[in-house]
Amino acid sequence: MVSLPDLRDLRLSELTEAAQGWAEVSNRARAARDEVVARMINPLRDTQRSEAAKGAYRQLDRLRNNFQYVHTEAGLVQAALNGLVEELTGPQRWLTQALQEAQAGGLTVHDDGSVSYPAYTPAEPGAEGEPPGIREGTTATGLFGEFERRKDAKNPYALKAREIADRIARSLEAASAADGMYAASMRKLKAESGLDIDQSTWRDVAGDQWFLQRAANDVLRDDIPRGKSPNERRVWWDKLTQEQRNQYLALYPEIIGNLDGIPSATRDEANRAYLPILIAKLQAVGDPSAATKIDGLLRIQQKLNEGSEPPMFLLAVSAEGNGRAAVAFNNPDTSQNVGVYVPGTNTRLDTSFVSGDLNRAKQIAVEAATVDPNTTTSTIAWLGYDTPQVRGPSWSAVGDVSGTELAEQAAPAFNSFMEGIGATSTYAGPNITAIGHSYGSLVIGEASQQRPGGIPSVDNIVLVGSPGVGVDDAADLRVPKGQVFVGSSDEDIITKLPSPDEQNLAAAAGLFGGRPDAERRIDLAGQVFDIGDDDIAFGKDPASKAFGAERFPTGPIGHSDYFTTEEGDDQVSGDHIAAIVAGHPERVPRIPLR
């Protein structure tokens, strides 16, 4: 129980200074972690291949992990101290005000919280001849004792003493509750000497975060503007003090890291801190879906720890659905050009996403720097939705991918993310390109229809390997005329998927799964795969004259090869995507539309 002298004499400034000290410990641990990676791990990895080097690498990675743990836990200690200061500020202020009023009113406050008041002699006799109400001085003990109001009804000091005693009692009660909760939280943050940091340790960190959140009664969580727009969130974040920001990052990294409108460097910091905690949580689940996500997250963690050029920024990560992640190469906030790539069917948070989709985004960023060395370009792989998951060749499973429901569900999240990119940019008018591959192109199409002005912040749209985007005219995508670009290989069967009517024809004829004679199969194939027809699975073929986009050459490539880059070849699709993203569409050759 917090006593009156404890609360009265407490110097909150000393707790604040202690919190700042722990913040410095946290910051130094983070800097040491980065130094271990930049000056030790990366040079060793790049130059040495021996068994001894591998052993040294493992030890250095352990050191990096230890610094990450210190950074996280010290941040939690800082958050606990700041939270305690915030919780005690009110009760101490209430107590101080009560003590000042008591002194001014001639009352005496004792260290146990009781209040004594003086005797009072009325100037006139009481009603109906009652003698003057002379009373001996007595004590009001507030919430912790009894008080006979009737006895001192004639003494005006008595009621004031009772009011003061009640206020003192409430301030001590509130201070004691906060002290008890935060004391328990601080005890949980104690680490044993020689602790070996493993996944069970990170699960403990998750428990520490939960306990501190509970201690704070989730007041901070309630203040996070999750229901606001990205622009409003940016304003909210900018108004916070650095101490408040640190507290949010320590207690709620999973929310701050995934909140559109928060600066990219901050989201990256939050998500890097949350990543080992998320992995530990999934390991405790232990089902096949969790194992798949763990594999992908471990690969992302490895890439982040290794470092890259251009530098990586982890803008989103969660275990929702089939997994969520957004990874940027170069900081989009400080880049004049930004390209956001939306992958399609069969993408999920696994090792293929890291080796395939992240590499595609990185290739475009690297090539964009070649296109225009005088500007900075950031490219982002955005897996912010559950893509269709099909087995076997996509054309044989067309019935499984022909629905628009997943794209419609993805569109609000994509629009929010793109609005966030615009909100945090340091440029007045950054050049922003949305890139949709396969089913991802349908996500872009649906997103363009869900807001009157189209996708927020987007200047250009690139569609590659598209089975249609849900609209029949490039103008319906709501970017300026001539700024919708299409890469569609004649060898890519996904760009010729049948329309719903043609699917019905195929099903009736038994083309999918049936065995018609060869001549009939050829005839049906000609009808089903849109020979002489602009309609495909999700509307007009984006590469058709009827759609009206700008078509660039791709060469005879397959469905997964649109992002390949190769210097000096005007048929290489990835080079053209990079030129558009870098703000130089005039360098992209055009070819006839279908």
| Count of alpha carbons within 13 angstroms of residue 122, beta-carbon side | 13
d(CA 34, CA 99): 51
358 is written with which tokens? 């992240």
- Tell me the C-alpha to C-alpha distance, in Å, between residue 341 and each of 203, 268, 440, 468: 33, 18, 8, 16
Q: What is the model's pLDDT at position 147?
A: 46
Q: What is the model's pLDDT at position 503?
A: 60
φ and ψ of 337, to 5 deg: -120, 140
d(CA 337, CA 500): 38
φ and ψ of 141, to 5 deg: -110, 15
The one-letter amino acid code at 35 reads E
Q: What is the model's pLDDT at position 456?
A: 97
What is the DSSP pairing of strand 484-487 with strand 460-464?
Answer: parallel
Q: What is the model's pLDDT at position 247?
A: 87
Q: What is the model's pLDDT at position 525?
A: 52
- Judge if pTM exceeds 0.85: no
Choose between 328 and 496: higher pLDDT. 328
Q: What class does CATH assign to 310-496+538-587?
A: alpha beta
Choose between 234 and 205: higher pLDDT. 234
Percent of the chain with pLDDT strictly greater than 90? 62
DSSP string, 556-589: S--TT-TT---TT-TT-HHHHHHHHHTT-GGGS-
Average pLDDT (27-49) is 85
- Distant-in-sequence, close-in-space partners of 558: CB < 8 Å, separation ≥ 6: 489, 491, 492
Average pLDDT (354-374) is 96
**For 568, left (φ over 0), alpha (ψ -120 to 50), or beta?**
left
Percent of the chain with pLDDT strictly greater than 70? 85
3-state class (DSSP) for residue 522? helix
Q: What is the model's pLDDT at position 135?
A: 38
> Could you tell me where the DSSP H helices lie in 429-551?
439-450, 500-509, 518-528
| Count of alpha carbons within 13 angstroms of residue 356, beta-carbon side | 17
- Residue 519 confidence (pLDDT) above 60: no
pLDDT band at 286 (very low <50, low <70, confident <90, very high): confident
* Contact in structure between 424 and 333 (CB atoms under 8 Å): yes
Average pLDDT (563-571) is 76
Q: Where are the domains of the chain?
A: 4-124+135-213, 310-496+538-587, 498-536
pLDDT band at 138 (very low <50, low <70, confident <90, very high): low
- Residue 316 confidence (pLDDT) above 80: yes
d(CA 468, CA 85): 57
Average pLDDT, the chain: 87
Closest CA to 532 of 569, 499, 575, 500: 499
Query: Token pair 């849900």 is at which residue?
Result: 470
* Contact in structure between 275 and 325 (CB atoms under 8 Å): no
432 is written with which tokens? 């922003």
pLDDT band at 530 (very low <50, low <70, confident <90, very high): very low
**For 434, left (φ over 0), alpha (ψ -120 to 50), or beta?**
beta
pLDDT in tens, 416-472: 999 999 999 999 889 999 999 999 999 999 999 999 999 999 999 999 999 999 999
* Contact in structure between 438 and 467 (CB atoms under 8 Å): yes
DSSP state of 547: T
153-157, 283-287, 323-327: which range is least confident on average?
153-157
pLDDT band at 136 (very low <50, low <70, confident <90, very high): very low
> Longest C-alpha distance within the chain, in Å?
123
d(CA 538, CA 246): 46
pLDDT in tens, 80-131: 998 899 899 999 999 999 999 999 998 999 999 989 888 776 655 554 444 3
Q: What is the model's pLDDT at position 150?
A: 47
d(CA 89, CA 278): 34
pLDDT band at 387 (very low <50, low <70, confident <90, very high): very high
